[in-house]
Amino acid sequence: MNKEIELKPCPFCGANAKLCHPNTPEIKLVVCENWDCNLANCHTHTDVWNTRPIETQLQAENTRLQARLGTSYTGHLEKENSRLRGALEKIVDKAKKCGAISTNNSLIEIGKTALQHNEEQDGM
């Protein structure tokens, strides 16, 4: 029974690995296909080659932290977006009250006007 062995990439350079004796299933030695890598000439048993406990633990921890960060970071962004939107609405209300902008202006128009004003100020 010739079972296909799935090999992980080289742990040092990331290149593909290959079986040294692919037609002899009882000899399970692997080398890196990248001849510039130190493992290109190092014959390693497939069980050792594919065993990377630290890598597996780090991937699990990375996944856990990404899920945690994704949730908290998204929540942080939504909170900050809400805070900035509220501040912008206060600015717009004050500008309308003092007549700096008309009540018909949209936020986009107000933003464009503010950018033009800043560009004019920078040009002086």
The answer to whether residue 2 is domain-embedded is yes
Residue-wise pLDDT for 1-42, tens only, equals 446 778 999 888 989 999 888 777 777 889 999 999 888 888
Buried b (16+ CB within 10 A) or exposed e, 47-86: eebeeeeeeeeeeeeeeeeeeeeeeeeeeeeeeeeeeeee
The answer to whether residue 3 is domain-embedded is yes
The answer to whether residue 46 is domain-embedded is yes
Q: Tell me how many domains the chain contains.
A: 1
The answer to whether residue 8 is domain-embedded is yes
Question: Residues 27, 20: contact at Cβ < 8 Å?
Answer: yes
Residue-wise pLDDT for 51-96, tens only, equals 887 887 888 898 888 888 776 677 778 888 889 888 888 887 777 7
Q: What is the pTM of this model?
A: 0.41
pLDDT at 119 over 80: no
The answer to whether residue 25 is domain-embedded is yes
Residue 1: what pLDDT?
40
Range of the domain at 46: 1-51
Question: What is the dihedral angle through the alpha carbons of 62, 58, 43, 38, rounded to the nearest 10 degrees?
Answer: 70
The answer to whether residue 29 is domain-embedded is yes
The answer to whether residue 18 is domain-embedded is yes
The answer to whether residue 40 is domain-embedded is yes
